[in-house]
Amino acid sequence: MSTATAVKVHNYSAGPCILPREVFEQAAQAVLDFEGGGLSILEISHRSKPFEAVMAKAQSLVKELLGAPDHYQVVFLGGGASMGFHMVPQNYMKVGGKSAYANTGEWASRAIKESKLAGETVVVASSEDKNFSYIPKGFTIPADADYFHFTSNNTIFGTQYKQFPKSPVPVVCDMSSDIFSRPVNVADFALIYAGAQKNMGPAGATVYLFDPNHLGKTGRKLSPMMDLKNHADKESMYNTPPVFAVYVSMLTMEWMKRVGGVAAIEKRNTAKAELLYGAIDRLPVFKGTTAVEDRSHMNPTFVLADAKLEPTFDAMWKEAGISGIRGHRSVGGYRASMYNALPIESVQALVDVMEEFAKKNG
Ligand SMILES: *Cc1c(COP(=O)(O)O)cnc(C)c1O
């Protein structure tokens, strides 16, 4: 077996994305020999004592890192956040009831589509009129809705709620791309859910953090696989959970704890965002694509003032070992995803390239 020297790549992938190097090392070791037991993490039963301990630890770390109230529960499922879009109305919309949604981008739109299949769905706010380049504010959520759903960070368009909407009804949030990036008051949410592959771990697991008191009230007959309460009652072991994705998520959460928890991580993320947006604003050859007050700290998006220069810029950042900053096809330009594990040195490397590009083409 060869141990290739790690090539220095500045990984700006939007998801699946960068995780801490030490997590990869621990995970690689566990694939070969999990906790010295002579077996791989990939070949032990999910009901074995060692894996039960992993699951319990992963669940408790979610609550600890986010400071969730004691009675909140954590479930890890497969299916991605996209399955969450379906599970939300199934578990929270009463038969004959209605839901309220804010439409701030592609993922929010997909969540709305699933709710419409389940029943009446009121879109209380939308930023579609300006290609989702801002976060709508000052909207009213009907007091007779069963729940209100929003997307805290819009991964594709690069916007992020800086203040969460006040709601008269239970709040459900898709936090896939900014969970653990900043402190939140979990008690304000009936449910927070997130696909692992943006800030928590590898693709394959989705975390659901919820107040169980809101469940079991819809009058709907649910398939056991779609029933959040069933999964909670069975401790995420109703069927085989995505064991490796849960394990690596646990390792990543342990790393988050080691580096000081979510408050410390928020400071790092703010510093990274200030560095990159600073360059976008200082250098006239770049333009941000979103409203300044709604700029995402996870997925900054920008374009060149002169799009004809894209090949020149592309050659420069590739040369500097930067990877994954091409924008989503629906926005164009660039998206520099800066999840928790991206070091500020990588942001500096990109800013250096931007400065050099501006000097040559300004
Ligand atoms: C990536 C993403 C999703 C989709 O997640 P899947 O795990 O691919 O289903 C949903 N919501 C947001 C905010 C995302 O960033």
Predicted confidence (pLDDT) per residue in 256-308, tens digit? 999 999 999 999 999 999 999 999 999 999 999 999 999 999 999 999 999 99
Looking at the chain, the whole-number percentage of residues with pLDDT higher than 90 is 97
- Does 19 map to a domain? no
If one compares 299 and 331, the residue with the highest pLDDT of the two is 299
- Does 4 map to a domain? no
As for how many domains the chain has, the answer is 2
Asked if 148 and 282 sit in the same domain, the reply is: no
- For residue 192, give the DSSP letter: E
Asked if 206 and 287 sit in the same domain, the reply is: no
- Does 90 map to a domain? yes
Ligand 1 atom closest to Cα of 206? 7
In the chain, what's the furthest Cα-to-Cα distance? 65
CA gap 102, 92 in Å, rounded: 16
CATH code, 297:
3.90.1150.10
Q: Can you give the C-alpha Rg of the chain in angstroms? A: 21
CA gap 312, 361 in Å, rounded: 9
Nearest to 250 by CA among 15, 30, 2: 30
165 Cβ closer than 6 Å to some ligand 1 atom: no
- Does 14 map to a domain? no
Report pLDDT for 5.
52
- For residue 11, give the DSSP letter: E
Report pLDDT for 331.
87
| 171 Cβ contact partners less than 8 Å away, ≥ 6 residues apart | 147, 148, 149, 150, 164, 165, 188, 189, 190
Asked if 161 and 272 sit in the same domain, the reply is: no
- Does 177 map to a domain? yes
Report pLDDT for 3.
47
CATH code, 127:
3.40.640.10
CA gap 358, 362 in Å, rounded: 5
Ligand 1 atom closest to Cα of 105? 13
Asked if 267 and 253 sit in the same domain, the reply is: no
155 Cβ closer than 6 Å to some ligand 1 atom: yes
Asked if 208 and 134 sit in the same domain, the reply is: yes
Mean pLDDT score, 316-345: 96
- Does 201 map to a domain? yes
| 22 Cβ contact partners less than 8 Å away, ≥ 6 residues apart | 255
- Domain limit, last residue, from 208, 227, 258: 258
Helix (H) or strand (E) holding 160: strand 159-160
Asked if 345 and 196 sit in the same domain, the reply is: no
- Does 241 map to a domain? yes
Q: What is the dihedral of CA 185, 189, 191, 194, to 10 degrees?
A: -40
Report pLDDT for 7.
60
The string over 142-169, giving b where at least 16 C-beta atoms fall within 10 Å of a residue's C-beta and e elsewhere, is: eeebbbbbbbbbbbbbbbbbeeebebeb
198 is catalytic: yes
323 Cβ closer than 6 Å to some ligand 1 atom: no
pLDDT in tens, 96-145: 999 999 999 999 999 999 999 999 999 999 999 999 999 999 999 999 99
CB 199 within 8 A of CB 177: yes
Ligand 1 atom closest to Cα of 81? 9
Q: What distance in angstroms lies between residue 306's CA and the mean position of ligand 1's atoms?
A: 31
- Domain limit, last residue, from 233, 258, 283: 258
pLDDT in tens, 185-199: 999 999 999 999 999
Asked if 266 and 220 sit in the same domain, the reply is: no
CA gap 25, 8 in Å, rounded: 16
Range of the domain at 298: 262-361
144 is catalytic: no
Which pairing describes strands 191-195 and 206-210: parallel, antiparallel, or unpaired? antiparallel
The residue from 174, 178, 227, 294 that is catalytic is: 174
Which pairing describes strands 153-154 and 159-160: parallel, antiparallel, or unpaired? antiparallel
Asked if 106 and 194 sit in the same domain, the reply is: yes
Asked if 237 and 292 sit in the same domain, the reply is: no
pLDDT in tens, 155-185: 999 999 999 999 999 999 999 999 999 999 9
Q: What distance in angstroms lies between residue 48's CA and the mean position of ligand 1's atoms?
A: 30
- Does 10 map to a domain? no
Confidence of residue 330 (pLDDT cuts 50, 70, 90): confident
107 is catalytic: yes
Asked if 217 and 293 sit in the same domain, the reply is: no
- Domain limit, last residue, from 239, 258, 277: 258
CA gap 20, 334 in Å, rounded: 23
Q: Which of 76, 175, 176 for a ligand 1 pocket mutation test, highest count of atoms within 8 Å of Cβ?
A: 176
Ligand 1 atom closest to Cα of 151? 13
Asked if 126 and 225 sit in the same domain, the reply is: yes
CA distances from 214 to 87, 94, 113, 155, 328 (A): 14, 11, 22, 28, 36
Asked if 298 and 210 sit in the same domain, the reply is: no
pTM of the full structure: 0.97
